[in-house]
Amino acid sequence: MEKERQGGRMPKIPDERQEQKAWLMEQIQCLSNRYEEDVLKLRREIHREPELAFREFKTAEKSGRPSARWALPCVPALPAPG
């Protein structure tokens, strides 16, 4: 990669941006580690009871619950088709 930068293909990232990128990657890794078990548990729970496309009511309910714990915005489910 350094060779490509020297050859003029890729502009060199300023040190400040590299520090910001490193900090951001560290934060992402930290959050990933923090929520990994909860996400895996949710995934297993959802896959235990599969639902047909456009009829994912239990899935929507289950996936909406963790958002309150994790302080994530949750978009309410759409009304049933029909």
pTM above 0.95, yes or no: no
How many Cβ atoms are within 10 Å of 32's Cβ, its own excluded?
A: 10
How many Å apart are CA 32 and CA 27, to the nearest integer? 8
- Predicted confidence at residue 44, as pLDDT, reads 92
How many Cβ atoms are within 10 Å of 76's Cβ, its own excluded?
A: 7
pLDDT in tens, 17-62: 888 888 888 888 988 888 899 889 988 988 888 888 877 778 777 7
DSSP letter for 49, please. S
Show me where the domains of the chain are located. 36-67
